[in-house]
Amino acid sequence: MTSEDEAPVDIAVRIEFAHAALQHLADTYGIDLLHVKGIAFEPKWRSRAEGGSDADILVRPSQVRDFTRHLRRQGWTRRSSFRTGSASGHAETYWHDHLGYADVHRFFMGMGRDEGTFDALWSRRQITELAGVQCPVPDGVAQALIFAINEARNSPGLKQPERVGLSIDHQLAVQIEKLIPTVQAQVGWAAARGALDEVRAHREHDLWRTTRAPSGRLAEWRARVKAEPATLDKIVTVLRAPLVNTEHLANTRGHRPSPLEVAVEFVDRGRRAATEVWRTYRNGRGLG
């Protein structure tokens, strides 16, 4: 009998325990959550056969704050916040010294952000056993949809329709089409099929376009503002645009940045933004 310090423990084993630990916490405090992606999904709906590098969960939106409060008391340290973690603000990343990384999603990019979307997924949940613990997961149809959307988001260079088409047959596609309105996944599904033009009028269209074909920070920020459903959220997004992402800075530098490092980054960020504005202006006038 040896501890993990003396014997190697595969990352896949740690991730399985991470899922189980997160579920144990949810059961203890009456939180609804679904285990998504990686080893929680059927092998055919995994991006990588071994199941990825972290444990992903989708928490009922109204319980996210409560859950993350309990999580931090349980030895998990936040590495990125909803505000700084990604363009869509859908997830926070946590680290545990024994269990590794976990991504806590408050919604899934490409799906609705509301309680109704979670309810739609929750009402058709299945159970899978991870590290001996009963863990709720989306059903097979929802797994296929989440896989397709996730592939579209993470593989901008991939010829998406072909790859998704290999896995999703006609019958399953029909079932997915029925699910889509209940989880507001029209844009994500369009992106997965390589058909973003079909949803050009949707507020999330531009954000997906910048995800599929990166076109600079300014375009991304414009898309982020447009994608926000409420005016107040749009204003907050604009106000945050020039601020330095100190969590990202800490992660890339391996230490908490000093006030001087933050100030230097702030100035450099402004310089990069100005350069991008100038290039956009120059290209727009045909000077480039």
Interface residues toward other proteins, by CB under 8 A: 1-4, 6-7, 9, 13-14, 16-18, 20-21, 24-25, 74-75, 96-99, 130-133
State the number of CA atoms in the 13 A half-sphere of 41 facing the CB: 26
Q: How far is the CB of 96 from other proteins (least distance, A)?
A: 6
CB 54 within 8 A of CB 90: no
Shorter beta-carbon distance to other proteins: residue 28 or 167: 28
Q: How far is the CB of 51 from other proteins (least distance, A)?
A: 12
Q: Taking the mean position of all CA atoms in its chain, how far away is CA 27?
A: 23
Q: How far is the CB of 103 from other proteins (least distance, A)?
A: 17
According to DSSP, residue 87 is labeled T
143's enclosing H/E stretch is: helix 140-154
Shorter beta-carbon distance to other proteins: residue 74 or 215: 74
Of 212, 219, 173, 174, give the one whose Cα is nearest residue 194. 212
Please name the residues in contact with 253: beta carbons below 8 A apart, sequence gap of 6 or more.
261
Q: How far is the CB of 17 from other proteins (least distance, A)?
A: 5
Of 153, 154, 121, 151, give the one whose Cα is nearest residue 35. 121
Q: How far is the CB of 191 from other proteins (least distance, A)?
A: 35
Quickly count: other Cβ atoms within 10 Å of residue 33's Cβ. Answer: 23
Per the structure block, which two tokens stand in for 210?
Answer: 């910048």
Quickly count: other Cβ atoms within 10 Å of residue 104's Cβ. Answer: 24
Q: How far is the CB of 48 from other proteins (least distance, A)?
A: 18
Beta-ladder partners of 58: 34, 105
Give CA–CA dist 208/153, Å, rounded. Answer: 8
Shorter beta-carbon distance to other proteins: residue 99 or 121: 99
Extract the runs of DSSP E, i.e. beta strands, from 27-69.
Answer: 33-36, 55-59
Shorter beta-carbon distance to other proteins: residue 21 or 168: 21
Q: How far is the CB of 99 from other proteins (least distance, A)?
A: 4
Shorter beta-carbon distance to other proteins: residue 133 or 262: 133
Shorter beta-carbon distance to other proteins: residue 96 or 209: 96
Largest Cα span, the chain: 71
Give CA–CA dist 9/122, Å, rounded. Answer: 32
Shorter beta-carbon distance to other proteins: residue 5 or 162: 5
Shorter beta-carbon distance to other proteins: residue 96 or 224: 96
Q: How far is the CB of 97 from other proteins (least distance, A)?
A: 8
